[in-house]
Amino acid sequence: MRKVYKDNGEFSENAEEENGDVDKLILEGEKFEESGDFLSAAQRFNQAALILLESEEHERAVDCCLRALKNYEKIGDEKGIADTSYNLCIAFSNLGKHENAISCCNRALKIYEKLKEEEGLADTYYGLAVVYL
């Protein structure tokens, strides 16, 4: 699972380390979005999505990922787009929406290859393999 953004600007290694309230994170994301701070909005929505994936609330995770993706796209943050596309792949795969999952993985792979992001490539190839199992 991808890293989770924490309020202090650092990242924790997994969603279990961050016990934040999902609804609070979503509200913060909405406030940042309204104020034009699209990076902070995207980070909050993505963090909420990861926590939701950990708690197996995959539909809500998809919604948060899509909101994060929209904000990363507004600012052209390719790494954020790739990370969120990977997270969407996992959520869609868990919902049995394999075509959507494959599409998200392929998007992430293209960006990770461009950025020469080896960890992201490895994670995404693994995620793609899981989709095909």
Segment 95-128, tens digit of pLDDT: 999 999 999 999 999 999 999 999 999 999 999 9
- Rounded Cα–Cα distance for residues 53 and 94 (Å): 9
Specify the number of domains making up the chain: 1
Q: Give the CATH number, domain containing residue 29.
A: 1.25.40.10
pLDDT at position 66 = 98
pLDDT in tens, 26-35: 999 999 999 9
**Which residues have C-beta within 8 Å of that of residue 3, sequence separation ≥ 6?**
11, 12, 13, 14, 83
Q: Is the pTM of this model over 0.75?
A: yes
Q: Which residue has the tokens 């924790």?
A: 12
pLDDT attached to residue 7:
41
Query: What is the per-residue pLDDT for 108?
Result: 98
Residue 8 pLDDT class (50, 70, 90 cuts): very low
- Give the position of tokens 């461009």: 114
d(CA 109, CA 76): 17
Mean pLDDT estimate for the chain: 89
For 4, phi and psi rounded to 5 degrees? -115, 130
39-69 pLDDT, tens digit each: 999 999 999 999 999 999 999 999 999 999 9
Q: Which range of residues forms the domain containing residue 93? A: 4-132
